[in-house]
Structures are given as C-alpha cells and as structure tokens.
C-alpha cells in the first residue's frame, strides 16, 4: 500500500459516509483536485469534496440493481496530494490506480479535470480499452497552441498510447475540424448524443457491448465527463454544451455496458462554482449507481 499512503491524504469527509477499511473494501475512492489546464470555467479542483458532500445527502438505494450502496464495501482513501503539475498528477494517479487494481479492488476516481483519465488508463495492464462519455472528442494535438497536455487533448494522448481501436467515445456533439478529421482518419468509434436519442440508450449500450466483443477488449475503464449531460441536467461543468444526454440515458447506457470487464471508472469536469450543487448531486448519483452495477456484475460471476 505504498502508493496509496505516499500519494493520498485522507479527508475528514468520506464519500457517502461509508467506511470500509482498505483491506476489506471492494471499491476504493480517491479525489484528484486538479484543474490547471481548464480553459473556460475553472473550479473542478473543488469537485471531489463537493461530490462527497452530495453523496452524504442523497438516498443510496438503486432501483436498477435492487441494491443499497450503503451496504457496499467502499473505502475513501482521500485526495491526491502532489497536483503541482500535469506530469506529477498523472504519475501519481497511475501509481495509485495500479496499486488499487493489484489489490483486486475497483478504483473510483473523482476529478478534477479530464486530463486525469490518461493516468488511470496507463495503470491498466493487458488488453485494455476505455469508454469515454463526453460532449467533446478531446482530440486536439495541442490546446492552447504549444500545449500537448490538457483537458482538450486527453483522448488524443490516450489514442496515441493504446490505439484508436481501443477507445470509444459516447455522447459527443462538440468538436473542431481537426478532431473530426483525426477521428475519421484513425477510425475512432464515436457515438453522438443525437444517435443516442434516435436509437435509444439501451440499444446504444447493446451496440457498445458488440463493439467491445468485436475488439476483444478484456479490461474496460469508464470515463464520465459530466458535460456529456445536457446543461439543463448538469449546469456546473467546465465546458457545457447543448443537446446532451439526460442522467437516465447515461445510466441506462452504463447499465448495459457494465460487466466484469469494467475494472474502474472516473467522474470528471464538475465545476461546483457554477450551480447550486445540482451537478455534484448528479455526479454522486452516477457514482453510487455505477458502483452498484459493478458489484452486481461481479456477484453474478462469483
């Protein structure tokens, strides 16, 4: 447990108020209060504590799974401490996630900006893939000009690391010409929010499962950028975009996709200063529901 002890500092506020010890825990939650590359509305560094507070104050029973998240074994390991730069933050995340996975537990990462996803994906060994729920493709090579590492380049860096065939983007609806051309040239699979609405969330989830099977992916990381939701549902995000998903659509897709292949997930880009806690409540609900779905999937194979 050297990486966890070295990189994380425990908070007095625990996610959901749950307190399983690390040894017995199934899920290990940690926050990444980092938003140094935010380009429009900074403040996602405050999201981990705000999401923790929201999780303390919403009901924990899941109608989808008929499980109560309060009965899951969840350990809150605290927040990443060395967030002085993109490189140190990513390195710390990789080491912590790798250790959590080595202990046979499920990492749950509360951002923070989307750049952190790269660190989590780098920690996964073997035939890995990532499903990214995001309004944006985040495929710019540099943003701003001259900057290779930012929230707007994170998917490009992940593609360069694990290959475009191992990345699927869902809920996209906002990208520039450079990103559109790069995605098509590299045969990156993306499903727009318009397609989700037209074909239905459950069918989208089934399509994702077929893609996962066809690609032969064995370990899946889920990355949930909260701007995948419509601003009417999640106004407090760093880069809101119209024509997004509802929370139900998002969770319906996730409920179809979650299986024992899902090794962990992150929730990023909430910016609490731009609403009155609505987005943090959505984030807490999504996190609790996803934990229940993963627990149920693992139960069914045990």
Does the annotation list 7 as a binding residue?
no
Query: SS3 helix, strand, coil % of the chain, rounded to 5?
Result: 45, 20, 35
What are the structural domain ranges in the chain?
A: 2-300
Contact 245, 193 (CB under 8 A): yes
Assign 1 a pLDDT band (cuts: 50, 70, 90).
low
Per-residue pLDDT tens over the stretch 183-209: 999 999 999 999 999 999 999 999 999
Instruction: Tell me how far apart the alpha carbons of residues 272 and 279 are, in angstroms, rounded to a whole number.
Output: 7
Q: What is the mean pLDDT of residues 219-226?
A: 98
Average pLDDT, the chain: 96
Lookup result for tokens 């290779």: 148
151 in a labelled binding site: no
Q: Is the pLDDT of residue 290 over 70?
A: yes
- pLDDT tens figures, 118-143: 999 999 999 999 999 999 999 999 99
Residue 252 labeled ligand binder: no
Give the helix ranges, DSSP H, for 8-102: 47-55, 86-102
C-alpha distances out from residue 178 to 155, 259, 273, Å: 13, 34, 31
pLDDT exceeds cutoff 70 at 90: yes
Write the class of the CATH domain 2-300: alpha beta
Instruction: Flag whether 227 is marked binding.
Output: yes
Least confident among 15-24, 128-137, 231-240, 274-283:
15-24
- Average pLDDT of the segment spanning 294-301: 93
The predicted model scores a pTM of 0.97
Are the C-beta atoms of residues 43 and 273 closer than 8 Å to each other?
yes
d(CA 53, CA 13): 7
Report whether pLDDT(302) > 70: no
Q: Identify the burial level of 242 via C-beta atoms within 10 angstroms of its C-beta, where 0-12 means exposed, 13-18 middle and 19 or more buried.
A: exposed
Burial pattern 22-55, b for ≥16 Cβ within 10 A else e, equals beebbbbbbbbbbbbbbeebebbbbbbbbbbbbb
């Amino acid at each position: 447990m050297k990486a966890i002890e070295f990189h994380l500092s425990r908070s007095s506020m625990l996610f959901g108020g749950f307190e399983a010890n690390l040894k017995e825990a199934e899920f290990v939650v940690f926050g990444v209060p980092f938003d140094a590359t935010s380009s429009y509305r900074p403040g996602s560094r405050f999201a981990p504590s705000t999401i923790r507070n929201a999780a303390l104050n919403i009901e924990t029973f899941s109608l989808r799974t008929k499980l109560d998240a309060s009965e899951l074994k969840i350990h809150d390991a605290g927040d990443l401490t060395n967030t002085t730069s993109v490189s140190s933050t990513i390195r710390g995340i990789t080491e912590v996630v790798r250790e959590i996975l080595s202990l046979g537990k499920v990492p749950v990462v509360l951002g923070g900006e989307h750049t952190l996803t790269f660190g989590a994906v780098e920690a996964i060994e073997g035939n890995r893939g990532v499903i990214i729920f995001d309004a944006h493709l985040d495929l710019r090579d540099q943003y701003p000009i001259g900057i290779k590492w930012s929230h707007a380049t994170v998917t490009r860096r992940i593609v360069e690391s694990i290959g475009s065939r191992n990345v699927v983007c869902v809920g996209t609806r906002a990208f520039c010409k450079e990103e559109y051309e790069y995605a098509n040239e590299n045969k990156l699979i993306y499903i727009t929010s318009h397609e989700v609405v037209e074909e239905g969330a459950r069918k989208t989830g089934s399509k994702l499962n077929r893609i996962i099977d066809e690609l032969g992916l064995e370990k899946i990381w889920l990355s949930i950028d909260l701007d995948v939701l419509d601003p009417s549902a999640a106004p407090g995000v760093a880069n809101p975009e119209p024509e997004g998903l509802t929370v139900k659509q998002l969770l319906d897709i996730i409920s179809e996709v979650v299986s024992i292949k899902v090794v962990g997930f992150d929730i990023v880009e909430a910016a609490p200063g731009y609403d009155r806690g609505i987005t943090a409540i959505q984030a807490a609900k999504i996190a609790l529901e996803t934990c229940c779905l993963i627990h149920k999937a693992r139960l069914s194979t045990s």
